[in-house]
């Protein structure tokens, strides 16, 4: 079945460690996104990519990094520079020609807890 | 700047009651799109509807209906005869130059 797969579903990390969240899609979508969800704050955009080897910062990119070496993959690294990394992270994709006008397809999310 | 406000943080109803989720938005764009997404306990957001700024016609899909009013910058969502399976967090979103989500409304439908 086509869709977006995020892994791991749950992740625990010690302070000062980097961690990478995986996002893979087989929908043949050009655009991919990373959102962060905190209670009572909705979704905030971290990074997005419209094409392979290119990506743009969102509203809260500090302390995060991404890469887009393949169309189907958009991993997110939460670095030790991110001051408050405990959150629920959602990956999404869309057809690039309808970016911001079409629906987003979401993965099931990754919950990161920093101990 | 674009902004989406969902003033209702949590709503609890009993099964078969009707419930309306409010969404108010702010934008300076003349062309924009409004969305509703559902987030069940499993975590992924599921697309429900998209409306463009030129189409104020209300829409009904089964038990779901949406009321878009540009005069009040609102895009409210009504569930008729609610069911336990409707329990989820519902997000309203606005897109113009970028996509903005509201804080979400957690709906609990009790049997």
Residues of A with CB under 8 A from a CB of B: 4, 35, 40-45, 58, 88, 90, 92, 100-109
For the cut 70, the answer to whether the pLDDT of residue A92 exceeds it is yes
Cβ <8 Å between B97 and A100: yes
CA distance A12 to A112: 6
Beta strands in chain B (DSSP E): 3-5, 10-14, 19-21, 24-26, 33-39, 46-52, 59-61, 64-69, 74-79, 88-95, 99-101, 105-110
Q: Are B1 and B97 a contacting pair, CB within 8 Å?
A: no
Helix (H) or strand (E) holding A89: strand A87-94
Q: Per mean pLDDT, which range of A21-25, A38-42, B76-80 is the poorest?
A: A38-42
Per-residue pLDDT in tens (0 to 9) along chain B, 111 residues: 789 999 999 999 999 999 999 999 999 988 889 999 999 988 889 999 999 888 888 888 899 999 999 999 999 999 999 999 999 999 999 987 678 899 999 999 999
Number of other CB atoms surrounding residue A69 within 10 Å? 9
For the cut 80, the answer to whether the pLDDT of residue A101 exceeds it is no
R_g of chain A, CA atoms, integer Å: 13
Q: Are B95 and B68 a contacting pair, CB within 8 Å?
A: no
Instruction: Give the strand pairing for A110-114 and A10-13.
Output: parallel
Instruction: Give the strand pairing for B64-69 and B10-14.
Output: unpaired
What does each C-alpha distance from A67 to A29, A49, A88, B35, B53 come to in angstroms?
16, 9, 20, 28, 34
| Residue A74 φ/ψ, nearest 5 degrees | -145, 75
Q: Are A16 and A70 a contacting pair, CB within 8 Å?
A: no
pLDDT at A103: 84
Residues of B with CB under 8 A from a CB of A: 4, 6, 9, 33, 35, 37, 42-47, 50, 52, 91, 95-99, 101-104
Total beta-carbon pairs less than 8 A apart between chain A and chain B:
53
Cβ <8 Å between B47 and A105: yes
Name the residue among B33, B101, B103 with its Cβ closest to that of A101: B33
Q: What is the mean pLDDT of residues A31-37?
A: 94
């Amino acid at each position: 079945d086509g869709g977006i797969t995020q892994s791991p579903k749950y992740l625990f990390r010690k302070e000062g460690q980097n961690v990478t969240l995986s996002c893979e899609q087989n929908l043949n979508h050009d655009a991919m996104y990373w959102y962060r969800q905190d209670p009572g704050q909705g979704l905030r955009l971290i990074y997005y990519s419209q094409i392979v080897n290119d990506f743009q910062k969102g509203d809260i990119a500090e302390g995060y990094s991404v890469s887009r070496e393949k169309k189907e993959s958009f991993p997110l690294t939460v670095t030790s520079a991110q001051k408050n990394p405990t959150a629920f992270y959602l990956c999404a994709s869309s057809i690039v020609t309808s970016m911001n006008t079409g629906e987003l397809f979401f993965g099931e999310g990754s919950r990161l807890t920093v101990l | 700047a674009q902004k989406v406000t969902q003033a209702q943080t949590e709503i609890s109803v009993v099964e078969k009651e009707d419930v309306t989720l409010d969404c108010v938005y702010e934008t300076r764009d003349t062309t924009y799109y409004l969305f509703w997404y559902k987030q069940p306990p499993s975590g992924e957001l599921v697309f429900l509807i998209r409306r463009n700024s030129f189409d104020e016609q209300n829409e009904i899909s089964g038990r779901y209906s949406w009321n878009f009013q540009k005069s009040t910058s609102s895009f409210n969502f009504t569930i008729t005869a609610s069911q336990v399976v409707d329990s989820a967090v519902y997000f309203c979103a606005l897109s113009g130059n970028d996509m903005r989500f509201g804080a979400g409304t957690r709906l609990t439908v009790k049997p």
